[in-house]
């Protein structure tokens, strides 16, 4: 079952990742996408941390689809944060 859109969390400067949530019915699922993965998805490099929220919003549909695919793959532990890295970004 695909996840549905949750809330935007924000940028985590310690993890160099942007946080957001997805919903599995009424269950909230924590998610993060690394800076490198978001830049890979955008086709850019070195986006400033202050611009990460705007970048996430622009890429939100694609990022959420990747998170949902990871969740549906069954390779995640229930209750664990879904983390998206560059290895999850399809190379064209």
pLDDT class of 91 with cuts at 50, 70, 90: confident
Beta-strand pair 82-84/17-24: unpaired
Q: Are 72 and 31 in contact (CB under 8 A)?
A: no
How confident is the model at residue 65, as a pLDDT? 96
Q: How is the beta sheet containing 82-84 ordered, strand by strand?
A: 4-12, 17-24, 27-34, 82-84
With a pLDDT cut of 70, the percent of the chain lying above it is 98
For 19-62, the pLDDT digits (tens) are 999 999 999 999 999 999 999 999 999 999 999 999 999 999 99
pTM assigned to the model: 0.91
- List the domain boundaries for the chain: 4-88
pLDDT of residue 63: 97
CATH topology of domain 4-88: Double Stranded RNA Binding Domain (3.30.160)
How many Å apart are CA 87 and CA 40, to the nearest integer? 10
């Amino acid at each position: 079952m695909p996840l549905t859109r949750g809330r935007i969390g924000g940028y985590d400067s310690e993890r160099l990742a942007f946080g957001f949530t997805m919903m599995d019915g009424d269950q909230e699922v924590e998610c993060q996408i690394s800076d490198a993965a978001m830049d890979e998805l955008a086709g850019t490099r070195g986006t400033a941390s202050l611009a990460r929220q705007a970048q996430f919003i622009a890429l939100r549909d694609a990022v959420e689809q990747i998170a949902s695919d990871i969740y549906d793959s069954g390779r995640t532990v229930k209750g664990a944060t879904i983390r998206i890295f560059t290895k999850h970004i399809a190379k064209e």
